[in-house]
Amino acid sequence: MRRDSVLLLVAFAAVAAAFVGSTMVAQRAAHEVGGLAASIARDAAPGLGAIANVRGEVRRLQALISRQTAMGAAPTDKEAIDEARQTLDTHLAAFRALPTSGEEVAALNKLQADIRGFDEAVEHVIAQLASSRREDANATLLREVRPRADRAVASATTLVDLETRLAEEAAMRIERVHRRSTRFALQMDALCVVLAGVVAWLVLRAARHARQIQQAHRAILERRAEELEEFAGRVAHDVLSPLASVGLALSIAQTSGSPAQQLAAHRGSSSLRRVRGIVDALLEFARSGARPAPDEAADVRVVVNDLVEELRPQAEEVAADLRVDTVPECAVACSPGVLVVLLSNLLRNAFKYLGDSTPRIVELRVRARRSTVQFEVEDSGPGIPPELGDRVFEPYVRDRRTATKPGIGLGLATVKRLVVAHGGSVGVRRGVLGGALFWFDLPQTELVRRAETRQSVMPS
């Protein structure tokens, strides 16, 4: 009897293992097939259409600007040219919205860079035609517009080929998974049918156990979420509360000090407000799981002016000439604190790594484009070693030539994480000053100005 019980238990265990194994394999196969089919229908096919449209719009825009150059006058088809450029941006945005692999991201970045160069060349020709410089426009068309259009089309073709190959590989994997899962299911079904009642009992018991585990796991997650909220509140209070006394002292100095002290106190108060804005923005960003609020907006001109005023003393300490181009009236889709973090990281890095170079120049440029705002920080320092390249945006990666400088290599990694999380792109190249040129762009948005009550610098 005992032996029969042992055999029965072993049989139950074998049937349960077979059934669970069959179910898991079938579910996994179905999930994999569904995912692959969805990637073809939802990602690959729309992606191919979007990139094909990008390629067509590049050629259409090239034809429009070539025809306008041949006429030798200021653009008369301005609406058609603007519409083609806007349509080009729309198709690119449609592709960026699709899920992409690392290989696709690299190809898309190259395509965007080529299209950016082509678009700038088109703007150059339009400006020359508007100035009645037909010969210059023809030369720019031959030297810049056509080669860059060819490069953009070639990059688009490469991306189309990549999408096609990925779709073919997904289809082949679907076929292999289907055959494997069907064969395994038939083998396991023969055993499972014999003791279906026993298996059903085991499944019900396993389901109850799984629900208990899930409920316990959910309770643990809820407790941890509450603890995280409490910890975040304590962090904000511990960071900001000690500065309240500093804010009070500065407020007193602003009203009772000498003119020089009042000016210094005013600058200190502005810095404290920016510290609070940075802490609030980054704390909220971290608590939201790296998902920024959809209604955030930062006035670029206000942020840049305040930040430049704050960084002037640091530029003077390193004998650097901080140059800022005229900042256009525009806004980007992030909080002011996040924009301060991005720009201050790049500018402080530029000051830090000027080395012994002469002249000592750091330039900040802001360009408002049709749907994005581009920021550039360029310096006249030694630049980034070619072997580092885009690896400078990885955590803890530093140039061995500047290893003695303070820092742990997280500034640029923070910049990239914030820019990508807010729907932008970031990069680095050698600038015309001989040093590094870091750039990033963020989506442009409308700035809604709200009437706000005046608040104290720090919470009481």
Residue pair 293/329 in contact (Cβ under 8 Å)? The answer is no
Instruction: Report the C-alpha gap between 224 and 237 in whole angstroms.
Output: 20
- Which pLDDT value is given to residue 366? 97
- Which pLDDT value is given to residue 39? 67
Q: Are strands 361-368 and 425-430 parallel, antiparallel or unpaired?
A: unpaired
The residue ranges of every structural domain in the chain are 2-194, 227-287, 298-445
Instruction: Report the C-alpha gap between 256 and 242 in whole angstroms.
Output: 23
Identify the CATH assignment for 298-445 out of 3.30.565.10, 2.30.110.10, 3.30.420.110, 1.10.620.20: 3.30.565.10
Global pTM exceeds 0.85: no
Extract the residue ranges of the chain whose pLDDT is less than 50. Answer: 221-222, 224-229, 231-232, 281, 284-285, 287-289, 450-460
Q: Which DSSP symbol is given to 327? A: P
Q: Which of 7, 50, 308 is nearest to 159 (CA)?
A: 50
Residue pair 381/349 in contact (Cβ under 8 Å)? The answer is no
Instruction: Report the C-alpha gap between 230 and 276 in whole angstroms.
Output: 19
Q: Is the peptide bond before 359 cis (omega within 30 degrees of 0)?
A: yes
- Which pLDDT value is given to residue 291? 63
Instruction: Report the C-alpha gap between 297 and 448 in whole angstroms.
Output: 8
Q: Which DSSP symbol is given to 353? A: T
3-class state of residue 332 by DSSP? strand
Residue pair 417/290 in contact (Cβ under 8 Å)? The answer is yes
Instruction: Report the C-alpha gap between 311 and 304 in whole angstroms.
Output: 10
**Could you confirm whether domain 2-194 is CATH 1.20.120.1730?**
yes
> Buried b vs exposed e over 198-230: b needs ≥16 C-beta within 10 Å?
bbeebeeeeeeeeeeeeeeeeeeeeeeeeeeee
**Domains 2-194 and 298-445 agree in fold:** no
Q: Which helix (H) or strand (E) holds 235?
A: helix 196-240
Q: Which of 330, 234, 343 is nearest to 278 (CA)?
A: 343
Instruction: Report the C-alpha gap between 86 and 431 in whole angstroms.
Output: 28
CA distances, 276 to each of 71, 86, 294, 340, 386 (Å): 57, 39, 21, 11, 38
- CA 305, 306, 307: angle at the middle one, nearest 5? 95
Instruction: Report the C-alpha gap between 294 and 8 in whole angstroms.
Output: 60
- Which pLDDT value is given to residue 322? 95
Q: How many CA atoms lie within 13 A of 272 on its CB side?
A: 24
Length of the chain: 460
CA distances, 38 to each of 34, 107, 300, 339, 459 (Å): 6, 22, 40, 37, 51
Instruction: Report the C-alpha gap between 158 and 177 in whole angstroms.
Output: 28
- Which pLDDT value is given to residue 129? 79
Instruction: Report the C-alpha gap between 78 and 248 in whole angstroms.
Output: 57
